[in-house]
Amino acid sequence: MVGGYAVSFHAQPRATKDLDIFIKADAANAAAVYAALAKFGAPLEELKPEDFIEPGKFYRMGRPPLMIDILPEISGVDFDTAWGKRVEAEIDAGLQVPFIDLDSLILAKLASGRPEDLGDVAVLRRATRSLTKQPGEED
C-alpha cells in the first residue's frame, strides 16, 4: 500500500479518500490483477489486462471515501526497488499487508510535489525524528 494508508502506518492516522495500491507493471502481473478484480466483481467494461501496464494510466473504482486506485507507477519510485524494501504488517487477525517502506514513501511524495503530499512528508519526518529521539533530547 502507498498513499494515505501508508502515511497512517508509518506516522499517524489521517483521513484519506482512497486506498492506493502500487502494482508491478508487467504482462503477468497485469493479467493477475485483472483476474483478481474480475473475481471481486469490479467494473472492468472496456478494460483489458494490458491497460494495467500502460504508463500514465491507473484504474479507479468506487467513490470517496471508499475508492481504490490501482497504480502501475508512482512518481519517484521504481516498483522493484520499493517491493524489495517493503514492510509487512498484520492489519487484521492473520492478514498480512505489504506497505511501501518509509524512505520510498517520502521519495514518492516529494516527487509528486502536491501540497498534501508535501504535508505528509513533514508528518513522516516528524514521526521519524520522534521515534529516534533519545530520552531528554529536544526536537
- The strand pair at 18-22 and 66-71 is best described as parallel
pTM equals 0.83
88-134 pLDDT per residue, tens = 999 888 899 999 999 999 999 999 999 999 999 999 999 888 766 55
Measured CA to CA, the distance from residue 71 to residue 25 in angstroms comes to: 9
Q: Tell me if 86 sits within 8 A of 39, measured CB to CB.
A: no
User: Is residue 49 reached through a cis peptide bond, with omega within 30 degrees of 0 on the bond before it?
Assistant: no
Q: Which SS3 state, helix, strand or coil, does residue 76 take?
A: coil
Radius of gyration over alpha carbons of the chain, in Å? 16
Question: For 135, phi and psi rounded to 5 degrees?
Answer: -55, 130
pLDDT in tens, 40-74: 999 999 999 999 999 889 999 999 988 999 999 99
